[in-house]
Structure 1
C-alpha cells in the first residue's frame, strides 16, 4: 500500500478514486504512566512515556487506515494527514485520514 502526503504519486496515474478513508484510535495512559509523566513535567524536557504512547498510536491509526483502504479496493492513499485531540483528561484520539485511490504505473 502506497501512502503519501501529496496529491499525486510520481510515476503513477490515479485511475479510480474510492473516497475518504480513516484510521481512528483512542488511547488512555494508565495511572502509573500519568504519575511518572507528571513528575517528569516538573523538571522539563521530553516526556518519553507520552512520546512512545503517541508514536504507537499513530502507527496503529495508519494500520487501520491501510486496512480500511484495502477493504475499499484501493492500492494507495493520497493526501494522508494526522489529526489529534484530547478526550477528557487522560485520553487522546489520533486519526489518520486521506483519499483511497487505485493507481497504476505510467508507461
Structure 2
C-alpha cells in the first residue's frame, strides 16, 4: 500500500477514486506509565513510556486505515492525515484518514 500526504502519487496516475478511508484507536494511560511519567516530571526529559504508547497507537490507526482501503480495492492512500483528540480524562483517540485510490 502506497501512503502519501500529497494529493497525488509521484510518477503514478490515479485511475480510480475509491473513497474516504479511516482507522482509529483509543489509548489510555495506565498506573505503571503514570508512575514513570511522574518521576520524569521531577527530573525532566522525554516521557518515553508515553512516546512509545502514542507510536503504537499511530501504527494501529494507520493499519486499520490500510485495511479499510484494501477492502475498497485500493492500492494507495493519498492526502493521509493523523489527528489526536482527548475523548475522556486520561484517554486519547488517534485517527488516520485519507482518500483511497487505485493507481497504475
Query: So what's the TM-score if we normalise by structure 1?
Result: 0.92
> Residue by residue, what CA displacement relative to the aligned partner does 1:12-41 show, whole Å, maximum 9, x if unpaired?
100111111101010112112112112212
- Name the residue aligned to 1:10: 10
Aligned to 1:50: 50
Structure 1's consecutive aligned runs of 4 or more residues displaced over 6 angstroms after TM superposition are none
SS at match of 1:10: coil
Question: Quick one: distance in 1 between partners of 2:91 and 2:103?
Answer: 37
Paired with 2:88 and 2:32, the residues of 1 have a C-alpha distance of 17
Q: Kindly report which structure 2 residues correspond to 1:5-84, keeping only aligned pairs within 5 A, or say none.
A: 5-84=5-84
- Helix, strand or coil at the partner of 2:19: strand
Tell me, what secondary structure is at the counterpart of 1:16? strand
CA distance in 2, matches of 1:31, 1:75: 40
Classify the secondary structure of the residue corresponding to 1:32: helix
Distance (whole Å) between structure 1 residues aligned to residue 101 and residue 42 of structure 2: 46
Separation (CA, whole Å) in 2 of partners of 1:68 and 1:38: 38
Q: Under a length normalisation based on structure 2, what TM-score does the superposition of the two structures give? A: 0.95
